[in-house]
Amino acid sequence: MKITREEVEHVARLARLALTEEEKDTLTGQMDAILAYVDKLNELNTDGVVATSHAVPMENAFREDVVRPSIGIDNALANAPARVESFFRVPKVIE
């Protein structure tokens, strides 16, 4: 086994996914099969190979620090599931 049900539960907590018991079962089997497949990468010797994180060679992209209009509070809040005045409303954070 490449991955256990307990590891799936741990990863789900990290990913903030409240998976159902059935989802955990299904994902354990599917992730196990996929991880067994990607193991083929270990056939390749990559000692001394530089990792590629970006396909096009690029320096930092700087721009002038100039003031531009922003979308404004009402636009920013227009899609909020819940709001109070000019704030996003969330459940109690600190018990």
Partner 1 sequence: MELFELTIHELHERLKKREISSVEVTKDCLDRIAATEPQVNAYITVTRDAALSAAETADKRLAAGDADILTGIPVALKDIFLTKGIRSTCGSKILADFIPPYDATSWLRLKERGAVLVGKLNQDEFAMGSSNETSVFGPTRNPWNTDCIPGGSSGGSAAAVAARSAAATLGTDTGGSIRQPASHCGCVGLKPTYGRVSRYGVIAYASSLDQVGPLTRDVTDCAIMLGAVAGYDPLDSTSVDRPVPDYRAGLTGDVSGLKIGLPKEYYIEGLDPDVKRSLDAAIETYRGLGAEFVEISLPHTDYAVAAYYLIATAEASSNLARYEGVRFGHRTAEAGGLMEMMSKSRDEGFGQEVKRRIMLGTYALSSGYYDAYYLKAQKVRTLIMQDFLKAFETVDTILTPVAPTPAFKVGEKTSDPLQMYLSDIFTIPVNLAGTCGISVPAGLSGDGLPVGLQLIGKPFGEETILRAAHAFEQATTWHQRKAAL
Residue numbers 59-88 binding partner 1 by CB under 8 A: 61, 63, 71, 75-76, 78-82, 88
Phi and psi based region of residue 17 (left: phi greater than 0; alpha: psi -120 to 50; beta: remaining):
beta
Position 1 contacts partner 1 (CB under 8 A): no
Q: Which residues contact 46 (CB under 8 A, 6 or more apart)?
A: none
Q: Which of 16, 39, 21, 15 is nearest to 5 (CA)?
A: 21
Binding site for partner 1 (CB under 8 A): 3, 7-8, 11-12, 14-20, 23, 26-27, 30-31, 33-35, 37-44, 46, 49-56, 58, 61, 63, 71, 75-76, 78-82, 88, 90-93, 95
